[in-house]
Amino acid sequence: MKELLLIPGPTPVNEEVLKEIAKQPISHVSKVFAGYIEKSIEYLKEIFGTKNGSIFIIPGSGTIAMEIALKNLLGKNEKALVLSHGFFGDRFLEILDEDGFQFDFIQSKWGEIIDLNLINDKLKKEHYEVVTITHVDTSTGILAPVNDYMRVIKEVSPDSLIILDGVCATAGVEEKMDEWGIDIILTGSQKALSVPPGLAILAVSERGLNKRKSLGKIGYYYGDLLRWKISMDDPTKYFATHNTNYVFGLKKSLEIILSEGLKKRYKRHFENANYIREKMENIGFKVFGDKNYLAPTLSIFLYPEGIDDEKFRKDLSDKGVTVASGLKDLKGKCFRMGHMGEVKKEELDYAFEAISSLIT
């Protein structure tokens, strides 16, 4: 039986990448290892759409990347505005709250985006030093209209620093850091970058780094981008030990991604998403969320009536296909299917076969 991991991360990893990861570690400050970091930086810049942004590859999960972004851009007396489309947008609120920052938020209804007028009004009333956007919220499957949000933000509050959470987006949907005017894009290794979970990856604008410098001590030693920068600029310099083996894998995965070609890759994600959604609707599932803003990286399939969520996912898993449960209010009503990175049409066909055999 084929084992197919179709949750919205971690995602399947190319065998070539796994082979790299299974090499013996080498010195984390050697010139050879520096080459892996330097190449990965070069490739990531292309994927993030940035020329002058600084890339950071830090051992940790996507969650630490979110906290790193906030702690390095926001002063204690400054305020953040969180634009939240769901669970992972709200996670910014949790972090801001735990970490003692001031913040406001605009939450969309789950499955929808935020009315541009609300953003406009909020930004006109008060200065927000940081605005966060979740590119794809893995809980709702909604793709934020970053371009539209950014147009409003740049018009009303051009000085606000922008954090874009790309965890379930980067390398599966286009990101144009420089063109959009984003200050930090953050992501994890285990989604459309197709590496196992364990790397927090960030791209930071010059404006973002200058802001970090102006903050002085941020009380956040390990996540201090200025400390990591020394080792990212010259990886033979030590700050903390890199995750050598995942960086081997990351470099390889980035090569695979770029050799597919970004445009082609994004198109494939888009087409595959439509492909599986149509098939699923034909057997009685509904796709959750506003049709105009569905992310190409995952789908949330609402069950036809009479399907027991736990049993369905268990039975599907017995057929080798693992999908994820819904979160919060959606729990029990749907399952979430990741279709990003290495997931191709054949895998979707395989999964669909298994799913439809359970339905009919």
Task: Between 9 and 208, name the residue whose CB sits nearer to its own copies.
Answer: 9
Closest CA to 162 of 83, 57, 103: 83
Task: Report CA 248 to chain centroid distance, whole Å.
Answer: 20
Question: How near is the Cβ of 164 to its own copies at its closest, in Å?
Answer: 19
Question: How near is the Cβ of 231 to its own copies at its closest, in Å?
Answer: 11
Interactions with its own copies, residue window 229-248 (CB under 8 A):
239-246
Task: Between 230 and 283, name the residue whose CB sits nearer to its own copies.
Answer: 230
H/E segment holding residue 137: strand 136-137
Out of 42, 125, 221, 234, name the contact with its own copies by CB under 8 A: 221
Is there binding between residue 346 and its own copies (CB under 8 A)?
A: no
End-to-end CA distance of the chain: 21
Out of 124, 217, 263, 291, name the contact with its own copies by CB under 8 A: 217
Give the CA radius of gyration of the chain. Answer: 20
Closest CA to 32 of 43, 44, 23, 45: 23
Is there binding between residue 318 and its own copies (CB under 8 A)?
A: no
Out of 53, 62, 208, 341, name the contact with its own copies by CB under 8 A: 62
Out of 145, 181, 196, 284, name the contact with its own copies by CB under 8 A: 196
Rounded CA separation 12/343 (Å)? 7
Out of 37, 47, 55, 64, name the contact with its own copies by CB under 8 A: 64
Indicate the burial class of 103 (C-beta count within 10 angstroms; 0-12, 13-18, 19 or more).
buried
Q: Determine the length of the chain.
A: 360
Is there binding between residue 59 and its own copies (CB under 8 A)?
A: yes
Q: What character string, x for contact with its own copies (CB under 8 A) and - otherwise, covers 1-30? A: --x-x-x-xxxxx----xx-xxxxxxxx-x
What does each C-alpha distance from 285 to 136, 238, 262, 358 come to in angstroms? 21, 52, 31, 12
Question: How near is the Cβ of 251 to its own copies at its closest, in Å?
Answer: 15
CB 58 within 8 A of CB 200: yes
Q: Which residues bind its own copies (CB under 8 A)?
A: 3, 5, 7, 9-13, 18-19, 21-28, 30, 59-64, 67, 94-95, 98-100, 188, 190, 196-198, 217-224, 239-246, 322, 324
